[in-house]
Amino acid sequence: MAPRLQLEKAAWRWAETVRPEEVSQEHIETAYRIWLEPCIRGVCRRNCKGNPNCLVGIGEHIWLGEIDENSFHNIDDPNCERRKKNSFVGLTNLGATCYVNTFLQVWFLNLELRQALYLCPSTCSDYVLGDGIQEEKDYEPQTICEHLQYLFALLQNSNRRYIDPSGFVKALGLDTGQQQDAQEFSKLFMSLLEDTLSKQKNPDVRNIVQQQFCGEYAYVTVCNQCGRESKLLSKFYELELNIQGHKQLTDCISEFLKEEKLEGDNRYFCENCQSKQNATRKIRLLSLPCTLNLQLMRFVFDRQTGHKKKLNTYIGFSEILDMEPYVEHKGGSYVYELSAVLIHRGVSAYSGHYIAHVKDPQSGEWYKFNDEDIEKMEGKKLQLGIEEDLAEPSKSQTRKPKCGKGTHCSRNAYMLVYRLQTQEKPNTTVQVPAFLQELVDRDNSKFEEWCIEMAEMRKQSVDKGKAKHEEVKELYQRLPAGAEPYEFVSLEWLQKWLDESTPTKPIDNHACLCSHDKLHPDKISIMKRISEYAADIFYSRYGGGPRLTVKALCKECVVERCRVLRLKNQLNEDYKTVNNLLKAAVKGNDGFWVGKSSLRSWRQLALEQLDEQDGDAEQSNGKMNGSTLNKDESKEERKEEEELNFNEDILCPHGELCISENERRLVSKEAWSKLQQYFPKAPEFPSYKECCSQCKILEREGEENEALHKMIANEQKTSLPNLFQDKNRPCLSNWPEDTDVLYIVSQFFVEEWRKFVRKPTRCSPVSSVGNSALLCPHGGLMFTFASMTKEDSKLIALIWPSEWQMIQKLFVVDHVIKIMRIEVGDVNPSETQYISEPKLCPECREGLLCQQQRDLREYTQATIYVHKVVDNKKVMKDSAPELNVSSSETEEDKEEAKPDGEKDPDFNQIMHAFSVAPFDQNLSIDGKILSDDCATLGTLGVIPESVILLKADEPIADYAAMDDVMQVCMPEEGFKGTGLLGH
C-alpha cells in the first residue's frame, strides 16, 4: 500500500471525528506515529518504503565486511597505458581513421622507408636551442615528412602503449568522422609523398618511393596482319587485381596479364598497315619493386544500385610468391615473401573496420594491428587475413576453403604486401635521429609525469575510501534512534553519504519542510529517524540543516489536514443532499442562478479544490518543497484555476450575469448554501438579479446589424444576380456582339463580395471596388488584351455596362477600367482592334513578367513529374510518379542554411524509381538536354508541374568497358578538398 494511502487510512482516521480547533499535541503525535513503527534490522532485505525507522538497503551493504581497495576509485592503473617490453606501439582511432592507422603501421615496418624519412632535413633545428628543446613551446611539424618522422620516432621509442596521430590526420585535412576508401588513400598518399621527397637533394631520400614501391609494365598491342608491336610504358605502385570469379591469387595475376583480342568494331588502327586490323593486347611486366603491393578489388560498382558493394569472395594466397613466370625478362630474383595483409571487416563498402596483419621484418613474427590494440599472432592465432565480419550472421558466411601449409585464405583481405626475398639480413640499426629522439624523450617525460599523477590520484582515492569505510562502520551501528532522543534526516542525503562515487555535500532538509518551515507530515516517508548522537557527528562534519527534532512536527499542517479530510468525508453526504434539493421546485424569489456546467461537475471541482488546499501545505508564497516556483508556471497554474472556478461559467465578459438563460439554472436557497460551503468565493446571483445591461445593448445592436447586413446583401444580390451566380458572364476570347464596351474589376473584389452575400451575418459588407491593384504606380494597366484572355484571366472579372452602372451606385470605385472594341479600315470586312482605358504601361508590364518568371523558378517542395521514354513512348512508373524537390535559393536564403527536408533535387531518386544509374540517365525538358550538374532547377527552366523526359542508355555487357565507364562517370571524390589532392 502506498505511503500516502496508509497515511489517510490509518494515521488520519481520528481526523474524521475531531474538529480542527480541537486538535491537540496528542493528535499531532498520532499523525506521525504510523511512520514510527519499529524496523528490526536483519529481518528487512530491502528498505521499507516510507518507514523512517528502516535503515536497511540504503547503500550500506557496499561498506560492510572486507572491501577491495580497487572499489575506492574509478581510475585505471596508469601502467596499463605503458608499452610492454618487446611490443609495438598502437595508434588512436580518431573516429573513422582506422584505414589511416593500418597503412601507417605497414609503412613504419618498412625499414628502408623509415630510414630514408629519418634522413630528411627538418625545421626542428629551429625549435632546438642550445642544449635542448624549448620547454615552453610544443613542437609542431610543418610538413608531411616531418609529421611522418615524428610519428615513426614515437612508434619506435615511445613508452606509451599507443600514440595520437591527430596532427598527421589534421595536416592531411581528413574528416575523422567519415570512413574513406583505404585503397584510394594509399595511392594518393604515396603520390603525395613521392612528390614531396622529389625535392630532396639526398638520392637515397629522393628515390625511396620509386625504389620501394615503383614497378614498370607495358601495354603491348600486336597487329595480327603485319606483326608490328606497339608499346606504351607505364609505372605502377600497386597491381589492381580483379577477384571476381577467382579463388587463387595466381589466377587473379594471370587474368591481369591475359591477352585481349581486338576485333570487329574494336579493331586496332595499325600505323604500319595504315588501316584497322585485328590485334591482340596484353600487359607485360618489365620490372618489379622491392615491395609489391597487390590490391584485391573487393569494392566494385553495382550498376543496379549506383553504389559500391563489397565482394566477399574467398581468395587463397601463399606466403611465398614467385613472380618470375609473370615478368618479361627471366633470370632475375623475383621470389617474394608475404609481409602484410590489410583487412576490411564488414559486409558494406561504406562501413566496417580496417585492421592489418604485419610481419616484423626483424624477428619474422606476425602481429595484428587494430588501432590501439596490438596482438602477437602465434600458434592457432596465426591465421593471416582471417577476421570475422562485423554485423553479419554466422549462418550467412561462406565456408572457408581448406588451405595447405604456407597458404592462407581470406574473404576480407583487400591488399597483400610482398617483400622481395634477399640473402642479406634486414637492417636492425634504424636509429632515431638525435633531434627526434629528444622530442620522444620529452613526450616520454610527460607520460611518466602523467603516470605519477594518476598513481597519486589513485592513492588519494584509496585513502579517502578507507577513511569513509571506517566512518561508515563507526556511524552506521549508531544510526538507529531507539528510545533515545532522535532527529530526522533526508533519506536522499543518507544515500549520497553512503555512495562512494559522489562526494558528500552538506545536509539539506529544505525539501521536507512545509510552508511553516517545519516538518511536513507527508514528507516523513522520505526521511529517516536517526539518533541524536549520529546527527551531531553528521552536522559537525558536513554542516547543513535545518535540524529537525521532535519539536519540528508541524501542528498547523495537521490542523489543515484535519479540516480537509473532514470536508472530503462530508462531501459524499452533501452530494446526495444537493441532488435531492435540485429535484424540488424553487418558490418565489428565494432561488439562486447556477451555471449548468458547474452543477454537472461541482463534486469533481470540490475534490480538486480540496486537493489543492491540501497541497497548499507544500507551497506558500511561491515556495514548493524549498524551491521557488517559476513565474510562468505560476501564471499557468492561476490560469487553470480560473478555468475551474465554480459558477464562473455564467459570467459575461463584463463580470455580470450572462443574458443567456440556456446556460444557467435556478436552484433553491438551501442548495446554494450547501454549495457555498465548498465554493465560498463563487460569484453569487440571486434570482432577482438583472442580467448585464451592457450585454443587452450589444445584443440589440448585434441583432440590428445582422438585420441591416441581410437587407444590404439581399439588395446587392438582387441588383447583381448574374455577378453573384456567375451566369451569362462576358468573355474577351469570345467578345459579345451586343456591346462594344466591357468594364473590369479585380477578381478579389468579386470573391469578397460573394462571401458577404452568402453569409451576411458573419462577414462585413464590401463598400468599395479596389481597382488600383490592377494598375501600375504610373496609373497604367498591367495586362494586355491577349494576357487577359489567357493566364491573367484569373485575376480580373468582366462587367456588363448595365452592371457597371449598378456597381457605381452600390460601391465606391477608385479607378474605372474598361476595354473597348473599335472597327478600323475602309475595306470589308474591317479590322477589329481592342483598346483599354487606361492604356497599357509597357515598362511595368515587362517588370511584372520578369517577376513572374523569377517566382516560377524560386520554389520549395514543388512537384516535378518524370516520364521515362521507352521505344520513343512515354512511360510513367507507378512506383515513383512524381519527384518532390526544392529549387533555386533566393538571395536571402543563400546566406542561411536550409532546414532539414529542404534540399536541392537529388536525381538519385530517379535511379531508385526507374532502376537507371545516374550516368545512364539522359534528361530533357522541352527538347533541352539537362546536362549541367551544378545548375539549379530554376536556371534549367524546370518550373513546378513540369514534365522531365528520361531516356536511359542501354547497359554495357562488357565488364572491361564497364570499368572504363566507371572511371569516367563515377570518379572517386572521397578525398576532395583534403591535402592529398593539393599537390
Of 39, 98, 252, 557, which residue is the catalytic one? 98
Q: Can you tell me the distance from the alpha carbon of 310 to that of 312, in angstroms, rounded to the nearest whole number?
A: 6
> Which segments of 447-588 are extended strands (E)?
486-490, 507-508, 527-531, 544-545
Question: In which element (H, E) is residue 353 found?
Answer: strand 353-359
Which amino acid is located at 382 in the chain? L
Residue 418 CB neighbour total at 10 angstroms: 25
d(CA 232, CA 445): 56
Q: CA 356 to CA 359: how far, in whole Å?
A: 10
Per-residue cell: 181:
576508401
DSSP classification of residue 131: T
- In eight-state DSSP terms, residue 764 is P
- Report whether 319 contacts 338 (CB < 8 A): yes
Measured in degrees and rounded to the nearest 5, phi and psi for residue 919 equal: -75, -10
- Whether 353 is a known active-site residue: answer yes
d(CA 569, CA 8): 12
- Exposure letters 639-663 (e unless 16+ CB within 10 A, then b): eeeeeebbbbbbbbeeebbbbeeee
The three-state secondary structure class of 37 is: coil
Q: Which residues contact 341 (CB under 8 A, 6 or more apart)?
A: 356, 357, 358, 384, 385, 408, 410, 413, 415, 416, 417
Positive or negative torsion for Cα 782, 788, 794, 800: positive
Q: What is the Cα Rg of the chain in Å?
A: 46
Phi and psi at residue 541, to the nearest 5° = -90, -35
Run of H or E residues at 344: strand 335-345
Query: What number of CA atoms fall less than 13 Å from residue 318's CA on the CB side?
Result: 12
Look up 98 and say whether it is catalytic.
yes
Distance (Å, rounded) from C-alpha 60 to C-alpha 471? Answer: 12
Using DSSP's 3-state secondary structure scheme, residue 219 falls into: strand
Q: Are 255 and 963 in contact (CB under 8 A)?
A: no
Tell me, letter by letter, the H, E, C secondary structure of 611-670: HHHHHCCCEECCEECCEECCHHHHHHHHHHHHHHCCCHHHECCCCCECCCHHHEEEECHH
The number of C-alpha atoms within 13 Å of 237 and in the hemisphere containing its C-beta is 16
Hey, how many other C-beta atoms are within 10 angstroms of the C-beta on 679? Answer: 18
**Do 178 and 965 touch, CB atoms closer than 8 A?**
no
- Cα separation, 871 vs 885, whole angstroms: 28
Helix runs in 70-165, H state only:
98-108, 111-118, 124-127, 144-157
- CB 488 within 8 Å of CB 496: no
Q: Given 353, 469, 520, 709, which residue is catalytic?
A: 353
Contact yes or no for 158/446 (Cβ under 8 A)? no
Listed residue (876, 858, 859) closest to 867, CA to CA: 876
Element (H, E) at 853: helix 842-857
Residue 304 burial (C-beta neighbours within 10 Å; 0-12, 13-18, 19+): exposed
Where do we find the cell 458577404?
Answer: 756
Name the residues annotated as catalytic.
98, 353
